[in-house]
Amino acid sequence: MNVDPLRMTILVDDRAGERLAAEHVFAVFIETDGRRILFDTGPGAVVRTNAEKLGIDLDTVDTVILSHGHYDHSGGIPSVIHGRTDIDLYFHPAALNHRWSIDTRSAREVGIPAEALSVIRAMPGERLHRTTEASASSRPSRGRPVSRMPAAPSFSMPRVARPIQ
């Protein structure tokens, strides 16, 4: 059985090596089957800075996938997508809703930042892919909007049990 190679590079994380900048949350660059995918963008431009330090050209990314609509997963959209018309963006429709963090003293918006929303709204409609539940049988044709995420490459990770502290 032939398995296409899969390469994943974490570009943004809470912890970083000595050459890289750290930011809350993460972004991962995925190369597989001729595709160059960015899963989440982190909260800002650090995704581009770290990619450059690692020798990854984000201008070659063909797909961005947002896990959900919080600023720390989508704030880097302007540094990755701005002005590009050749990149696909996959997201759940609810990702574009306003999101708030509320405690007893205050409320603050934690959704997709306004600048990132502007970039998304400026993208060609055929490049915006609103997703529903993923299905292993859903394989999009290039250039055609789909209703589901493309099937993810198969790989398994070991389960590690940790005590709750």
Q: Residue 151 domain-assigned?
A: no
Q: Residue 149 domain-assigned?
A: no
Residue 159: its pLDDT value, please?
Answer: 40
Domain hosting 67: range is 6-130
Residue 32 β-bridge partners: 6, 35
22-27 own/partner pairs: CB under 8 Å, 24+ apart: 22/46, 23/72, 24/72, 25/70, 25/72, 25/73, 27/76
Residue 111 corresponds to which tokens in the numbers above? Answer: 């959704």
Helix (H, G, I), strand (E, B) or coil at 74: helix
Q: Residue 40 domain-assigned?
A: yes
Q: Residue 42 domain-assigned?
A: yes
Residue 154 corresponds to which tokens in the numbers above? Answer: 């198969």
Q: Residue 120 domain-assigned?
A: yes
pLDDT band at 1 (very low <50, low <70, confident <90, very high): low
Split into its structural domains, the chain has a count of: 1
CATH of the domain at 119: 3.60.15.10
Q: What is the pLDDT of residues 92-121, one digit of tens each?
A: 988 988 888 888 888 888 999 999 999 999
Q: Residue 80 domain-assigned?
A: yes
Q: Residue 155 domain-assigned?
A: no
Q: For residue 8, which phi and psi values (nearest 5 degrees)?
A: -120, 130
CA 148/CA 143 separation, integer angstroms: 14
Q: Residue 57 domain-assigned?
A: yes
